[in-house]
Amino acid sequence: MARRRPKEETRAPSARRSSRAAPGHARVPEPTAAPSTELVLEEDGLVYVLDELPRKGAGRVLITVRSTRGEGTGAVRDLTSLYAQRGREALGQLIAETFGREIGQILGHLDLFLDQIDRAAGAESRVATVTLDAPRRRAAERLLLAPDLLDRAATTIAELGYVGEERVKRLTYLVATSRLLAKPLSAILVAPLSSGKSELLERVVQMLPEESVEFLSRLTPQALFYAGGDYLAHKVIVVDEQAGAVGAEYPIRTLQSRGVLRLTVTVKGRIESREAKGPIALLSSTTRHDLHPENLSRCLELPLDDGPEQTERVFEAQRNSWAGGESQPVNLRTWQDAQRLLEPSSVVIPFARQLTYRARTSKDRRDHAKLGSLIAAHALLHGRQRERDDEGRIVARVADYRAIYQLIRLLADEEIDGLSPRAARAYRHLCEAPRGSSTRRQLANALGWSYATAARAVCELEAHELVVSTGARPHGVRVLDRSLLGEGASLKPPGDIEGAK
C-alpha cells in the first residue's frame, strides 16, 4: 500500500509545482504535500522508499528497499533511473538476488511504484474545481445550443491541424463524450505507422477539460486498482498505444462493464480492500488488426484512411504550414467549458423498438449495443436541445439516430464478420475483379496501399480460406468463396422510423 509521510522539515513549493491560471480560469489546486515528502510502497513484505518525488525524464533517484520478514542481509539502497527500462531491470535483479525473490515479482512492484509516483506527481497540479464566470458560461451554453454541434467539433479539430478523417473525428469525439453515460464506449484507432493516430487523440483531448482526462503512455495491470475512490469516475483514459495497456485489459473491461474495481490485499498481516469507481471511456490506437475479441466488446474499432487522397490532404496542410499560411485562432476554452457543463445523465431512446440490425453472430450483439450507446452519446451532447422525461432522463430524437446512421452505415455494411477492415476491403475488391483474380501488386495499386499492406491482407484472406494463391509469378490471387457478400444493409434508414422528422 502506497502512502506519503512528511519529513521533519519541508521545503517551500518549487516553481514546478506552481499553477498559473490562464485568463478567466479559476484554478483551485488540491491540498498536497510538499515535494520533499517520502513516497512509500509496501508489497509482499517489501517496503520501497523514495526520499524525493522524481520528475519524468529526470536523472537517477535514490531508492531504499527493505524486507519486513527478515529476508536478506539488510536494506538495498541504489541510485537509479526508474523511468529507464534498463535501470528498472538492473534494480529488479539486485532486489531479487538480495531478498531471494523472483525478478518478475520485483519488476511488477516497480511498475506499481511508478504508477504511484505518476499519480503523486500529477496530484501536485491537479485542478479540483474550475469556476465559470457568467461570460464563459454564456459562451459555453450558446455552443451547446448549436444544432450542428458535432460538425463544429469536427471543424475545430481540423482547425487544430488534423485534416480529413471526417467520420473518425466525429466518432472519437462522441466516444469521449460517452464518458458521462452509465456504460461509456471506447475506441481504438487502427492504422499503419505514421497515419496520424496519436495526433488525432491529442486533438480530441485538447477539446476536453483537463480534469476529465488521464493521458497515459502505459497502463500496468494493477494501476487502475490503486486509482482510489471516484478519481476515475466518468473520465477519458487515453493510452497512446494499445500495447501500453497489455495486461490491463481485464480491469479495463471490468471498470467499463461493472463500473467498479475491487482488490483485496494483505498488508502487514491485515486484509485491506482497495476500490476504484468508474465508469470510464478509453481511447487508444494500434497498428494491429488482430485485437482480442473481448477487448472490443464495448469498443469501436476505427480504421484510419491511409489511401492516396488522405495522404494528399496531409501534404497540402503541411505545405500550407511551411509557406507560412495563417491558421484560424481556435477557442478551445469554450469547448472545454461546454464539456464541463455536461453532466452524467441517463438517456432513453423512445423509438428503439423500431431499430433493426443484422443478426448473424454474437459479435453483432455487441455491435448492436454500441449503436444504442452512440445514439445516447449524441443525445447527451445535445442535451440542452432535448426534452427530459419525468425521471429526468434525456429523451433522444430520431435526429440523433440520423447522425449516427450517417457515421456508421458504411462501416456496418462494409464489415465482414471475422475479417479486419483491411482484409474486408481487399476481399470485396477481389470479388468484383474480372474472373475474381488479381495480383498482389494490382491489389495494392487499386486500393492505394503499399505492397506489404496488400500482402498482409491476402495472407489473412488465405487463412480464412476465402482466396488462394495461384502460385505463379507475379503472385496471383483467386477468390474461392463469395458467400460472405450480399448480406444486405444492417441498419434501418432513419426515414423509415415512425415519427421521423
Q: Is residue 379 over pLDDT 90?
A: yes
Closest-CA residue to 197 (of 83, 118, 288): 288
Q: Indicate the burial class of 346 (C-beta count within 10 angstroms; 0-12, 13-18, 19 or more).
A: middle
Q: Are 199 and 162 in contact (CB under 8 A)?
A: yes
Q: Which of 177-191, 255-269, 459-473 has the lowest mean pLDDT?
A: 255-269
Q: Are 45 and 34 in contact (CB under 8 A)?
A: no
Closest-CA residue to 360 (of 415, 428, 292): 415
Amino acid letter, 154: A
Work out the pLDDT band at 136, boundaries 50, 70, 90: very high
Q: Is residue 392 over pLDDT 60?
A: yes
Distinct helix (H) and strand (E) counts, the chain: 14, 19
The better pLDDT of the pair 258, 337 is held by 337
- Max mean pLDDT range (12-21, 70-79, 90-99, 353-362): 90-99
Work out the pLDDT band at 181, boundaries 50, 70, 90: very high
Which cell numbers in the block locate residue 393? Answer: 432522463
**Residues forming beta bridges with residue 286, ordered by sequence position:** 190
- Write out pLDDT tens, residues 296-319: 566 888 888 777 788 888 888 888
Is residue 83 helix, strand or coil? coil
Q: Report the pLDDT averaged over residues 269-296.
A: 70
**Residues forming beta bridges with residue 80, ordered by sequence position:** 61
Closest-CA residue to 126 (of 59, 58, 23, 214): 214
Closest-CA residue to 36 (of 46, 24, 50, 23): 50
DSSP 405-431: HHHHHHHHHH--TTS-HHHHHHHHHHH
What are the CA-CA distances from residue 108 to residues 111, 280, 467 (Å)?
A: 5, 24, 44
Amino acid letter, 394: I
- Write out pLDDT tens, residues 207-249: 999 989 887 655 666 666 666 667 788 889 887 665 555 566 6
Q: What's the pLDDT at 125? A: 44
- Alpha-carbon torsion (386, 387, 388, 393), positive or negative: negative
Closest-CA residue to 106 (of 65, 70, 72, 56): 65
Q: Are 468 and 476 in contact (CB under 8 A)?
A: no
Q: Give the Cα separation of 481 and 467 in Å (integer).
A: 7
Work out the pLDDT band at 5, boundaries 50, 70, 90: very low
Which cell numbers in the block locate residue 364? Answer: 453483432
Amino acid letter, 353: R
The better pLDDT of the pair 154, 423 is held by 154
Q: Is residue 160 over pLDDT 70?
A: yes
- Max mean pLDDT range (70-74, 105-109, 183-187): 183-187
Q: What's the pLDDT at 110? A: 86
- Which secondary structure element, helix H or strand E, spans residue 76, and what is its range? strand 76-80
Q: Is residue 127 over pLDDT 60?
A: no
Backbone region of residue 126 per phi and psi (left: phi > 0; alpha: psi in -120 to 50; beta: other values) = beta
Closest-CA residue to 457 (of 311, 303, 309): 303
Q: Give the Cα separation of 407 and 175 in Å (integer).
A: 13
Work out the pLDDT band at 190, boundaries 50, 70, 90: confident
The better pLDDT of the pair 325, 269 is held by 325
Q: Is residue 134 over pLDDT 80?
A: yes
Q: Report the pLDDT averaged over residues 351-378.
A: 86
The better pLDDT of the pair 11, 386 is held by 386
Tell me what percent of the residues of the chain surpass a pLDDT of 70: 72
Q: Indicate the burial class of 437 (C-beta count within 10 angstroms; 0-12, 13-18, 19 or more).
A: middle
Tell me what percent of the residues of the chain surpass a pLDDT of 90: 23
Q: Are 234 and 180 in contact (CB under 8 A)?
A: yes
- Which secondary structure element, helix H or strand E, spans residue 243, and what is its range? none
Q: Report the pLDDT averaged over residues 402-413.
A: 81
Q: Give the Cα separation of 127 and 137 in Å (integer).
A: 18
Q: Which of 69-78, 118-127, 311-320 has the lowest mean pLDDT?
A: 118-127
Q: Is residue 378 over pLDDT 80?
A: yes
Domain boundaries, the chain: 3-128, 134-344, 421-479
Q: What's the pLDDT at 141? A: 96
Q: What's the pLDDT at 282? A: 87
Q: What's the pLDDT at 208? A: 95
Interstrand relation of 235-239 and 280-286 (parallel, antiparallel or unpaired): parallel
The better pLDDT of the pair 208, 321 is held by 208
For domain 421-479, the CATH class is mainly alpha
Q: Is residue 4 over pLDDT 50?
A: no
Q: What's the pLDDT at 222? A: 64
Average pLDDT of the chain is 78
- Give phi and psi for 186, each to the nearest 5: -135, 165
Q: Is residue 102 over pLDDT 70?
A: yes
CATH of domain 134-344: 3.40.50.300
Q: Give the Cα separation of 272 and 401 in Å (integer).
A: 46
